[in-house]
Amino acid sequence: MTPNTERSITMQKNIELGKTKSGRYSKKRVNVKKALFKIVENYPNIWKSKSSGPPDEWRQIVMEVFKQTGEIVRESILRVTLSEAKRYLKVKIVKCIKKKMDHNSMESHLRQWIFFPYFRYYYNTLGKFESEKRSQVSTGSSVDSQLVDDTFGDDMEMDDDCEEGDNDDIVFVEEVIHEQYLNDCVQEVKPQHTAIALPPSPLLANNRTPSMSHFARFSEESMAREISWEDQAPKGAKENAPSYEATEKFASSITSQIYRLFEENAEKSKLIKDVLQKTILALDDTNAYHRNSCDVFEELLAVEEHKLNSRSGNNRR
């Protein structure tokens, strides 16, 4: 795939266009994925590492994708696309192993994936992963194929005999893992219930009866006035690292706001749980590189759009 050097664009213009509807949905195009996987091969710091890679290299990849395809694709979307492809390949390896395929049969099967020729360099690094999974199967240990996401299903035609019974719909397992945790924190509120069973709010400590002013709408400004992490960090602590006391106070304040959200918006309880859960997962992702809150929510948007588009594609079949 030879880059078209006639295409050129400034990074600022690329960012502006990437915010448009066209920029958000161009990730669905096969040519964008093919170009991305081929380009990333030249950036081992990105595809070999568990971290998401240097931001300056990702900016360069954004520009190269445009040169080769003419498509404006946001950096956050390219990151998600690469991450999903890596997980997809792993889950397919696990499924083939569980179906008792030998290495050659498995590789022949994986070649049916239209992106395999462009992503083989990553597959070649998964020898240890394959060996570990085969060992687990041979010893009767449990092999959970849902440890990785099974995505990109719309772009791969599989043999009926091999894929019988498989569900290639998108499954974000991390969300399932955290579901019980979130349920333990806040009991789901039903719209028809007026009485809400919640653990005691921090605002009720010391027999204090909160007025509605205690449940004032949360804002960054009010929270910033209430607590300053930098000011309360002990001497010698890392720059911007909060002290235990500061963290505890901030967590208590956040907790009270979560209680308020559920109490005042019972009809939105499922939505609140969903948003909180996914935001926590995004912040907890050690492979992600977030420079600011905008990066976090752009990545969440990219993931949700991919899930929606994949499910729509499955429904059309």
| The pLDDT of residue 11 | 55
Residue 41 CA to residue 209 CA, distance in Å, equals 61
Give the distance, in angstroms, between the CA of residue 219 and the centroid of all CA atoms in the same chain: 26
% pLDDT > 70, the chain: 53
> CA distances (Å), 47 to each of 84, 111, 254, in order?
12, 20, 36
Average pLDDT for the chain:
68
Residues 243-258: pLDDT tens digits? 667 777 777 778 778 8
**At 156, phi and psi to the nearest 5?**
-135, 125
Mean of pLDDT values over 87-115:
93
| The pLDDT of residue 9 | 55
**What is the crossing angle of helices 55-69 and 75-98, to 10°?**
90
The set of residues, in sequence order, having a beta carbon less than 8 Å from that of 45 and lying 6+ positions away, is 53, 54, 57
Residues 198-232: pLDDT tens digits? 444 444 444 444 443 443 444 444 444 443 434 34
Task: Of 39-53, 79-93, 220-234, give the lowest mean pLDDT range.
Answer: 220-234
* Greater model confidence, 305 or 84: 84
What dihedral angle (degrees, nearest 10) is formed by the CA atoms of 205, 207, 212, 218? -10
Q: pLDDT class for 234, splitting at 50, 70, 90? A: very low
95: pLDDT strictly greater than 70: yes
| The pLDDT of residue 8 | 55
40: pLDDT strictly greater than 70: yes
* Greater model confidence, 142 or 282: 282
Class of residue 195 by CB neighbours under 10 A (exposed 0-12, middle 13-18, buried 19+): exposed
Q: Are 5 and 67 in contact (CB under 8 A)?
A: yes
Residues 137-162: pLDDT tens digits? 888 765 554 444 444 444 443 333 33
Pull the structure tokens for residue 54.
Answer: 């240097």
The number of residues making up the chain comes to 317
What's the sign of the alpha-carbon dihedral 198, 181, 264, 190?
negative
Residue 90 CA to residue 2 CA, distance in Å, equals 29
